[in-house]
Amino acid sequence: MSEINETQKTEYGENQIQVLEGLEAVRKRPGMYIGSTSIRGLHHLIYEIVDNSIDEALAGECTHIVVTLHKDNSVSVQDNGRGVPSGLNAKLGIPTLEVVFTVLHAGGKFGGGGYKISGGLHGVGASVVNALSEWVEVVNCHDGKMYTERFSRGKVEREFKCEGDANGRRGLYVRFLPDKEIFEESVFDYETVLNRMREQAFLNAGISIELIDDRGDEPTSEVLKFDGGIASFVEYLNKIRGVAVVHDVIYLRGEKDDATAEVAIQYNDSYNETLMTFANNINTVEGGTHETGFKNALTKVINDYARKKNLLKDDDEKLSGEDVREGMCAIVSVKLPEAQFEGQTKAKLGNSYIRPLVEGLISEKLGEFLEENPAVAKNIVEKSVLASRARAAARKARELTRRKSLLEGSSLPGKLADCHERNPEFTELYLVEGNSAGGSAKDGRDSQFQAILPMRGKVLNVEKSRPDKVYINSQLIPIIQALGCGIGEEFDITKLRYGKIIIMADADVDGSHIRILLLTFFFRHMKKLIEDGHVFLAQPPLYKVYKGKQTRYAFSDEERDMRIAELGGNAEAERYKGLGEMDPSQLWETTMDPTSRTILKVTMEDAMQCDQLFTLLMGDKVEPRREFIEKNAKYVTNLDV
Q: Taking 70 as the threshold, does the pLDDT of residue 275 lie above it?
A: yes
Active site residues: 433, 506, 508, 510
Tens-place pLDDT, residues 1-55:
333 333 343 343 334 333 345 688 888 888 888 878 888 889 999 999 999 999 8
Tens-place pLDDT, residues 160-190:
999 999 999 999 999 999 999 999 888 999 9
Q: In 529-585, which ranges are E strands?
A: 535-538, 543-547, 550-554, 572-575
* pLDDT confidence of residue 400: 66
Range of lowest pLDDT (298-307, 358-367, 455-464, 512-521) = 455-464
Q: 66 or 285, which is more confident? A: 66
Is 217 within 8 Å of 246 (Cβ atoms)? Answer: no
Q: Give the residue extent of every domain in the chain.
A: 24-224, 230-391, 410-540+580-635, 543-575
Three-state DSSP state, 595: coil
CA-wise closest residue to 108 among 170, 30, 172: 172
* Phi-psi category of residue 30: left, alpha or beta, with phi > 0 → left and psi -120 to 50 → alpha: alpha
The Cα-based distances of 252 to 206, 231, 264, 330, 353 in angstroms read 17, 9, 6, 11, 18
Is 482 within 8 Å of 416 (Cβ atoms)? Answer: yes
CA-wise closest residue to 352 among 366, 369, 336: 336
Confidence of residue 597 (pLDDT cuts 50, 70, 90): confident
Mean pLDDT on 329-342: 91
Confidence of residue 411 (pLDDT cuts 50, 70, 90): low
Confidence of residue 544 (pLDDT cuts 50, 70, 90): confident
Please tell me whether the overall predicted TM-score, pTM, comes out greater than 0.85 for this model.
no
Angle value at C-alpha 355, between 107 and 387, nearest 5 degrees: 125
The Cα-based distances of 133 to 31, 186, 237, 327 in angstroms read 14, 11, 35, 44
Range of lowest pLDDT (408-417, 441-450, 485-494) = 408-417
* pLDDT confidence of residue 588: 93
Which residues have a Cβ under 8 Å from the Cβ of 391 and sit 6 or more positions away?
320, 322, 323, 467, 468
Backbone phi, then psi, for 313, in 5-degree steps?
-65, -45
Is 584 within 8 Å of 444 (Cβ atoms)? Answer: yes
Range of lowest pLDDT (36-45, 222-231, 394-403) = 394-403
CA-wise closest residue to 115 among 56, 166, 53, 184: 56
Percentage of the chain beyond pLDDT 90 is 49
* pLDDT confidence of residue 9: 39
Is 592 within 8 Å of 441 (Cβ atoms)? Answer: yes
How many whole angstroms separate alpha carbon 123 and alpha carbon 556?
46
Q: Taking 50 as the threshold, does the pLDDT of residue 629 lie above it?
A: yes
Range of lowest pLDDT (213-217, 306-310, 512-516, 557-561) = 512-516
Beta bridge mates, 550: 547
As a dihedral over the C-alpha atoms of residue 429, residue 433, residue 439, residue 441, rounded to 10 degrees, the angle is -40
Confidence of residue 433 (pLDDT cuts 50, 70, 90): confident
67 burial level (CB within 10 Å; 0-12, 13-18, 19+)? buried
* pLDDT confidence of residue 575: 87
How many whole angstroms separate alpha carbon 462 and alpha carbon 394?
13
CA-wise closest residue to 250 among 117, 386, 379, 351: 379
Is 305 within 8 Å of 370 (Cβ atoms)? Answer: yes
Q: What top-level class would CATH report for the domain 24-224?
A: alpha beta
Mean pLDDT on 565-589: 85
* Phi-psi category of residue 120: left, alpha or beta, with phi > 0 → left and psi -120 to 50 → alpha: left
Q: Taking 90 as the threshold, does the pLDDT of residue 289 lie above it?
A: yes
Instruction: State the pairing for strand pair 133-142/145-152.
Output: antiparallel
CA-wise closest residue to 172 among 89, 58, 65: 65
CA–centroid distance for 473 within its chain: 29
Please tell me the number of Cα atoms within 13 Å of 333 on its side-chain side.
24
* pLDDT confidence of residue 477: 87
Q: 107 or 272, which is more confident? A: 272
143 burial level (CB within 10 Å; 0-12, 13-18, 19+)? exposed
Confidence of residue 626 (pLDDT cuts 50, 70, 90): low
Q: Taking 90 as the threshold, does the pLDDT of residue 489 lie above it?
A: no
CA-wise closest residue to 412 among 477, 503, 340: 477
Tens-place pLDDT, residues 107-118:
544 344 555 666
Q: Do the domains spanning 24-224 and 230-391 agree at the CATH topology level?
A: no
Amino acid type, 84: V
How many whole angstroms separate alpha carbon 129 and alpha carbon 247?
44
Q: 254 or 624, which is more confident? A: 254
* pLDDT confidence of residue 95: 92
CATH among 3.90.320.10, 2.40.110.10, 3.30.230.10, 3.40.50.11890 for 230-391: 3.30.230.10
Give the DSSP H or E segment for 402.
Answer: helix 374-407
Q: Taking 90 as the threshold, does the pLDDT of residue 122 lie above it?
A: no
Confidence of residue 134 (pLDDT cuts 50, 70, 90): very high
* pLDDT confidence of residue 349: 92
Assigned CATH for 410-540+580-635: 3.40.50.670
Instruction: Output DSSP code: residue 211.
Output: E
Percentage of the chain beyond pLDDT 70 is 85
Q: Which of 68-77, 277-286, 552-561 has the highest mean pLDDT?
A: 68-77
CA–centroid distance for 80 within its chain: 31
* pLDDT confidence of residue 142: 94
Tens-place pLDDT, residues 499-525:
999 999 887 777 878 888 898 899 888
Confidence of residue 458 (pLDDT cuts 50, 70, 90): confident
* pLDDT confidence of residue 413: 78
Mean pLDDT over each residue of the chain, to the nearest integer: 85
Q: 570 or 402, which is more confident? A: 570
Which H, E and C letters describe 430-442, residue by residue? Answer: EEEECHHHHHHHH
Tens-place pLDDT, residues 136-167:
999 999 999 999 999 999 999 999 999 999 99
Backbone phi, then psi, for 97, in 5-degree steps?
-60, -40
* pLDDT confidence of residue 372: 96
Is 264 within 8 Å of 234 (Cβ atoms)? Answer: yes
How many whole angstroms separate alpha carbon 298 and alpha carbon 308?
15
> 235: how many CB neighbours lie within 10 A of its CB?
19
How many whole angstroms separate alpha carbon 206 and alpha carbon 227?
5
How many whole angstroms separate alpha carbon 393 and alpha carbon 390?
5
Q: Taking 50 as the threshold, does the pLDDT of residue 528 lie above it?
A: yes
CA-wise closest residue to 189 among 31, 35, 30, 38: 38
